[in-house]
Structure 1
Amino acid sequence: MNYHAGDEDYLDRNFTTSDLNDTAFPPLSAYPPKRAELYIVIPLTILYSLILLAGLIGNVVTCIVIARNKHMHNATNYYLFSLAVSDLLLLVTGMPVEIYYLWSRYPYVFGETFCVLRGLAAETSTNATVLTITAFTVERYFAICHPFWSHSLSKLSRAIRLILIIWIIALLCAIPQAMQFGVVFGHTEEYTVCTVETQLEHAFEISTFLFFVTPMTLISILYALIGFRLRRSAVMKRSTSSQDSQYSVASAHASASYCKQNRSSQRVLKMLVAVVVAFFICWAPFHVQRLVAIYTPGSDHHTVYAIVTYTSGILYYLSTTVNPILYHIMSFKFREAFKETLSRCCCETEQRPYSQLSKQKRLLGGSSKKFSESLTEASSGIQEMRTQLLFPHQLIIISYLIQVFRK
């Protein structure tokens, strides 16, 4: 949840939330219009709606695919399931209200409780997302660089405990942030807003350090080590393949295998770089906007701050749609599991009419065994009828033909 200390979204930049609590309220001219210009509001509404739709579809599909495929019940996918849940929480609690704010900055109509709970949910989901990505990165590092240690660290029970710890830490760290939010009153109830009511000293600076600087540094270092390990492994395999080519006719197969593994390593490296870049792009503006609002509360750069605020909001929610793409859709195993889940759902839909027909058959004709017995009796009866119909003149003709052929 973006920190708007008297920001462009709700209040004019000429005064802060502390000014709202003074007995001498700012003049009415200090309040901005209830909404921005339509050329800003309409494109942002469309963009936010697309992000909301894409994020909901991507993360819900992720949860369904992981839940319905038992072979995907491993530590890695449990982290990704937790990541999808945190992204869904962020979308559901944040995006609809953000769209509402675009069209009506004030008065705030949802009440004090919803204001605080929304701040708590947004901060919790944000913290859980960052911590889950970090834990997933650590798990991948041990799986690739230290596979012997990974066997004990990647147990499902350990992963579940770690995920629970992540959510508890995320909630506890979100409480101080949420306590700062509240409904602030202006001249009348018409000018009420949900913003930072009482600011805790260095709360946002600590949050930026714990949930952006530290995870960003750790993720960058671990993915760099993973990349070095993959490149070194590729070089060793290439040298081994060149040595084997001097002694064996099967060198062509070895070379093809090496090329395939090399392409796979290149894809993994590109994905690692994309993860780090996406993490920085999506989360850096969010924390920059908070710090700018704290340290430059009286700045006259209204246009610059508005651009930073809108950009940080878009990228903040865009991360919920980027995560399913980076961690799932780019995965071959996930795509195969998605196809399997989709085909299974289609088969269940097609089998329903057949089950209804079988039920009707049981009601009308009893069991299938009795039904087949009755068909057998009917066919034997028809056969006997056909035999009886051959007498008398057909049988005389057939016996005459048999005698002719015998001669």
Structure 2
Amino acid sequence: MASDPNGSISSRSPANQFVQPAWRVALWALAYCAVLGVALLGNAVVIWIIVAHKRMRTVTNYFLLNLALCDVSTAAFNTLVNLIYAAHGDWYFGEDYCRYMAIIHPLKPHLSAKATLAVIMAIWSLAVVLAFPLCYFSTIRVLPHRTLCYVAWPRMADDAFMYHIIVTVLVYVVPLVVMGITYSIIGMTLWGGEIPGDTSDNYHGQLRAKRKIVKMMMVVVMTFAFCWLPYHVYFIVTGLNKRLSKWKSIQQVYLAVLWLAMSSTMYNPMIYCCLNSKFRAGFKQVFRWCPFIRMSSYDELELQNRRLRPGHQSSMCTLSRVDTSILSKDKSVCSRGNRSKCKPEPACKES
């Protein structure tokens, strides 16, 4: 947040009581820098995979692209600045950046999985509207020994707490409730039963692919919920009990919950890589220079515009990993005309 994380905006105390030992600052710096490095690299790879490969330009992946861009901006412009201010209690970045932080920090869009550009624009518009009060009231105060960046609410005792309640409901509780209901309905549809009489390999392959996507998005949602819950609870609890802001260890509590919230920017690329074969193939392609990363011909086919170029998908025979490597050498495929020469194997899986 743009407010003083330690809750101290009074000028009565000239000394900075939030200065920490150098070793503790170094440990926090290592933890935050690890989040920054992993988040920037992982999300940059996700963006490249979606933008550079036509097969990956789907509606779902456009939302993942939007989420990756949000995570990159949050990690790049917010993580270290928050660490420096929270660890030392002194604002070094001027009033303009103080207002910028008020916009970008807690209100980046999350949890979009089911629409297109209009929904993305609506999410960003809501984020801007919710962040406007912070931007408008954010300011700095220069004290004898340090500078504070905080939100000067008209009614300091009530406005800040009410704002945190509204933000928590609109950007955390409501999205989680909506996504919970949505994925419950989707889950009952995909796992509750199958279309009677439809036993085609193509139908079952599409069903398995959809189930994998839903599982991946559910993990993304649960990760977001876990990472941001302590952050919202912190501001609600400290708003209800102002004395906690003067507690000796409150600075360490804030740094911990802030680190967990910021770490949410680095987990999504790991989730995509673990649970989606196309993203996994893209990560292998980027890191194939590593001695322990092996890029197979099956992985190369995953990111191509089509798994097999000639013929229709419904008439292709499905190939095992061994068969695909043979195909890449022979440049031969199975089609309607020579079905008899194909080995009878199950249909190609999409994931």
Q: What is the TM-score of this pair, normalised by structure 1?
A: 0.60
Identify the match of residue 284 of structure 1 among 229, 248, 253. Answer: 229
Q: For 1:269 and 1:115, locate their aligned partners in 2 and report how far apart those are by CA, in whole Å.
A: 39
Q: 1:278 to 1:269 in 2, by over 3 A?
A: same
Give SS of 1:299's match.
helix
Q: 1:5 to 1:308 in 2, by over 3 A?
A: closer
Q: Deviations over 1:305-353 (max 9, x none)?
A: 345312210111111011222245521122234456778xxxxxxxxxx
Q: Which segment drifts farther, 301-310 or 287-296? A: 301-310
Larger Rg, first or second structure (1 or 2):
1
Q: 1:89 to 1:213 in 2, by over 3 A?
A: same
The AA in structure 2 aligned to 1:161 is A
* Corresponding residue of 1:72: 56
* Corresponding residue of 1:250: none
* Corresponding residue of 1:90: 74
Following superposition, the deviation at residue 303 of structure 1 comes to 5.0
Check if 1:181 corresponds to 2:138: yes
Identify the match of residue 320 of structure 1 among 255, 265, 290. Answer: 265
* Corresponding residue of 1:120: 103
Contact 2:39–2:265 under 8 Å retained in 1: yes
* Corresponding residue of 1:110: 93
Check if 1:161 corresponds to 2:144: no
Identify the match of residue 204 of structure 1 among 159, 164, 189. Answer: 164
Following superposition, the deviation at residue 2 of structure 1 comes to 6.6
- Aligned residues, how many? 282
Following superposition, the deviation at residue 219 of structure 1 comes to 1.4
The AA in structure 1 aligned to 2:62 is Y
Q: 1:212 to 1:183 in 2, by over 3 A?
A: same
Q: Deviations over 1:92-111 (max 9, x none)?
A: 111121233366322x2221
Trace 1:2-401 onto structure 2 (pairs within 5 A). Answer: 3-4=3-4, 6-7=6-7, 11=8, 17=9, 20=10, 25-28=11-14, 31-33=16-18, 35-101=19-85, 104-106=88-90, 108-123=91-106, 126-128=107-109, 130=110, 133=111, 135-136=112-113, 139=114, 159-186=116-143, 188=144, 190-198=145-153, 201=159, 202-233=162-193, 236=194, 271=216, 273-299=218-244, 302=247, 305-339=250-284
Following superposition, the deviation at residue 73 of structure 1 comes to 1.4
Q: Deviations over 1:59-96 (max 9, x none)?
A: 11111111111121121111111101111111111112
What's the C-alpha RMSD, in Å, of the aligned pairs? 3.3
* Percentage identity across paired residues of the two chains: 24
Q: For 1:269 and 1:162, locate their aligned partners in 2 and report how far apart those are by CA, in whole Å.
A: 19
Following superposition, the deviation at residue 184 of structure 1 comes to 2.1
- Larger helix fraction of residues: 1
Following superposition, the deviation at residue 228 of structure 1 comes to 2.4
Q: Deviations over 1:198-241 (max 9, x none)?
A: 266222211111001101111122222222223213xx48x989
Contact 2:50–2:57 under 8 Å retained in 1: yes
Give SS of 1:95's match.
helix
Q: 1:271 to 1:81 in 2, by over 3 A?
A: closer
Q: 1:304 to 1:218 in 2, by over 3 A?
A: farther
Following superposition, the deviation at residue 266 of structure 1 comes to 7.8
Structure 2 residues without counterparts, runs of 5 or longer: 289-351
Q: 1:42 to 1:101 in 2, by over 3 A?
A: same
Q: 1:300 to 1:165 in 2, by over 3 A?
A: closer
Q: For 2:60 and 2:218, locate their aligned partners in 1 and report how far apart those are by CA, in whole Å.
A: 19
The AA in structure 1 aligned to 2:257 is S
Q: 1:199 to 1:334 in 2, by over 3 A?
A: farther
Structure 1 residues without counterparts, runs of 5 or longer: 12-16, 140-153, 245-252, 344-407
Q: For 2:121 and 2:218, locate their aligned partners in 1 and report how far apart those are by CA, in whole Å.
A: 28
Q: 1:199 to 1:338 in 2, by over 3 A?
A: farther
The AA in structure 1 aligned to 2:168 is T
Q: For 1:4 and 1:38, locate their aligned partners in 2 and report how far apart those are by CA, in whole Å.
A: 21
Contact 1:2–1:290 under 8 Å retained in 2: no
Q: For 1:112 and 1:279, locate their aligned partners in 2 and report how far apart those are by CA, in whole Å.
A: 30
Q: For 1:261 and 1:162, locate their aligned partners in 2 and report how far apart those are by CA, in whole Å.
A: 25
